[in-house]
């Protein structure tokens, strides 16, 4: 039997995620959106490219959750994206309601699914989905680190004029301005980045990575990035569905790891059929540790706002 993935939110990130899942023949896909006709229309349009592209999966769209029953994975992209001048945190309260409603319904129909959160502000939305679903922590995962490292890898490869594939990078922390690109764990085919370029260049690439989302928002004006976010989400989906056990930076609920309790923070995890199968704790230098703590504090502030709202 084929695997089944529900993608909630048939907007830019959701539709591209659905299309990539189908193109890789990873699973049957159900697209859900509140706007009538949009998930149905986009789903049918994707299905009609199956004979040309040569994939055999079903893609359907719906405004409710009945058709999503017994999904292996539910990807939540529903919500508002950023506009120029907005930070991800500005989306907090509006997207809280969206993610809460979507998670409640999706979890009811697919109680054994792995939830992959994409909606921003990412770490606070993961916290919301975990609270609402009551799922164990290994089945609630946030997508941010794969995208942030993809951006860092892109900028490094362009700068050094080497293959994108050869660059491995690591970004920890929350998905925001305080994210922590870890230069010490970043290399080109095993050669540490610091051996290949000077500190001024590294600092510039790190800052561009931190501002990577805003750079695209500034160009697009009416929304935020979606091709690389969708590709990053699909890498996580694939690792879970195929039990590949890829080690990827993802937002995970920490329970003492890195000295953090009860917050979602980006850390390296092993992704397999059970969801998060291991959280890797790496020894950090004093300055890396301080940067991570600053990022954790930024996540904690948003979660505190949500806790006060819930009362
Ligand atoms: N984690 C990341 O790295 C990352 C990267 C890119 C985008 N994002 C976030 O992903 C979200 C989606 O971005 P986008 O560009 O696809 O936006 P979009 O506006 O193109 O799509 C959002 C979709 O959600 C739908 N929606 C709204 N409320 C809903 C509900 N209650 N149930 C179902 N669907 C609902 C909307 O109708 C719309 O189609 C944003 O919050 C954005 O900030 C996160």
Max distance between CA atoms of the chain, in angstroms, equals 55
**How many angstroms separate the CA atoms of 112 and 3, rounded?**
13
Instruction: Determine whether 175 is an active site residue.
Output: yes
Is the distance from the beta carbon of residue 33 to the nearest atom of ligand 1 less than 6 Å? yes
Is the distance from the beta carbon of residue 298 to the nearest atom of ligand 1 less than 6 Å? no
Taking the centre of ligand 1 as the mean of its atom positions, its distance from the CA of residue 121, in whole angstroms, is: 11
Region at 171 (left for phi over 0; alpha for psi -120 to 50; beta for the rest): beta
How is domain 4-142 classified at the CATH fold level?
Answer: Rossmann fold (3.40.50)
Question: Closest ligand 1 atom to the C-alpha of 229?
Answer: 5
Q: Are 208 and 155 in contact (CB under 8 A)?
A: yes
Structure confidence by residue, pLDDT tens digits, 163-202? 999 999 999 998 888 999 999 999 999 999 999 999 999 9
Structure confidence by residue, pLDDT tens digits, 39-75? 999 999 999 999 999 999 999 999 999 999 999 999 9
Ligand 1 atom 42 nearest Cα: 81
pLDDT of 311 higher than 80? no
**How many angstroms separate the CA atoms of 136 and 132, rounded?**
11
H or E stretch including 19? helix 12-23
Mean pLDDT of the chain: 96
Closest CA to 45 of 15, 7, 2, 8: 15
**How many angstroms separate the CA atoms of 79 and 33, rounded?**
10
Q: Is 195 exposed, middle or buried (0-12, 13-18, 19+ CB in 10 A)?
A: exposed
CA angle (3, 233, 12) in 5-degree steps: 105
Structure confidence by residue, pLDDT tens digits, 282-296? 999 999 999 999 999
Parse the chain into domains and list their residue ranges: 4-142, 145-310
Quote the pLDDT of residue 67.
98
Structure confidence by residue, pLDDT tens digits, 144-157? 999 999 999 999 99
Quote the pLDDT of residue 228.
98
Quote the pLDDT of residue 8.
98
pLDDT category of residue 85 using cuts at 50, 70 and 90:
confident
Query: Does 3.40.30.10 match the CATH number of domain 145-310?
Result: no
Could you check whether the bond before residue 121 is cis, i.e. omega within 30 degrees of 0?
Answer: yes
Q: Percent of the chain beyond pLDDT 90?
A: 93
Structure confidence by residue, pLDDT tens digits, 106-126? 999 999 999 999 999 999 999
pLDDT of 133 higher than 90? yes
How many other C-beta atoms can be found within 10 angstroms of the C-beta atom of residue 73?
A: 25
What value does the CA radius of gyration of the chain take, rounded to a whole number of Å? Answer: 19
The structure's pTM equals 0.97
Beta-carbon contacts of 311 under 8 Å, excluding residues fewer than 6 positions away, are none
Helix axes 122-133, 286-310, angle to 10 degrees: 50
Mutate to test the pocket of ligand 1, among 11, 83, 142, 210 (most ligand atoms within 8 A of CB): 11
pLDDT of 276 higher than 90? yes
Quote the pLDDT of residue 87.
82
Q: Count of alpha carbons within 13 Å of 282, Cβ hemisphere only?
A: 17
Is the distance from the beta carbon of residue 18 to the nearest atom of ligand 1 less than 6 Å? no
Q: Percent of the chain beyond pLDDT 70?
A: 100
Ligand 1 atom 18 nearest Cα: 11
Is the distance from the beta carbon of residue 174 to the nearest atom of ligand 1 less than 6 Å? no
Taking the centre of ligand 1 as the mean of its atom positions, its distance from the CA of residue 108, in whole angstroms, is: 21
Where would I find the H helices in 90-198? 92-109, 122-133, 145-160, 193-196
Structure confidence by residue, pLDDT tens digits, 261-275? 999 999 999 999 999
């Amino acid at each position: 039997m084929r695997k089944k993935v529900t993608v909630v939110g048939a907007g830019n990130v959701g539709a591209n995620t659905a299309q990539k899942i189908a193109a890789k023949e990873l699973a049957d896909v159900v697209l859900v959106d509140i706007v009538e006709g949009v998930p149905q229309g986009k789903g049918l349009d994707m299905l009609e490219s199956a004979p040309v592209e040569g994939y055999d999966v079903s893609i359907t769209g719906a405004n409710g959750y009945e058709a999503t029953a017994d999904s292996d994975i539910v990807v939540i992209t529903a919500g508002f994206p950023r506009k120029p001048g907005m930070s991800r945190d500005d989306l907090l309260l509006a997207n809280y309601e969206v993610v809460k409603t979507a998670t409640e319904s999706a979890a009811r129909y697919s109680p054994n699914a792995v939830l992959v959160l994409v909606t921003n502000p990412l770490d606070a939305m993961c916290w919301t989905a975990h609270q609402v679903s009551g799922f164990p922590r290994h089945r609630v995962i946030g997508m941010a680190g794969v995208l942030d490292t993809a951006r860092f890898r892109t900028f490094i490869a362009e700068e050094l004029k080497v293959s994108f594939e050869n660059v491995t990078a690591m970004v920890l922390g929350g998905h925001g301005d305080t994210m922590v690109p870890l230069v010490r764990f970043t290399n080109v085919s095993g050669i540490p980045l610091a051996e290949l370029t000077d500190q001024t260049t590294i600092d510039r690439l790190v800052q561009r990575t931190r501002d990577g989302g805003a750079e695209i928002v500034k160009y697009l004006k009416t929304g935020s990035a979606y091709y690389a976010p969708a590709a990053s989400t699909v890498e996580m989906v694939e690792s879970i569905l195929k039990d590949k056990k890829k080690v990827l930076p993802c937002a995970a609920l920490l329970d003492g790891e890195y000295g953090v309790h009860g917050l979602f923070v980006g850390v390296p995890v092993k992704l397999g059929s059970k969801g998060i199968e291991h959280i890797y704790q790496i020894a950090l230098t004093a300055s890396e540790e301080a940067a991570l703590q600053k990022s954790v504090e930024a996540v904690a502030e948003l979660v505190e706002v949500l806790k006060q709202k819930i009362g």
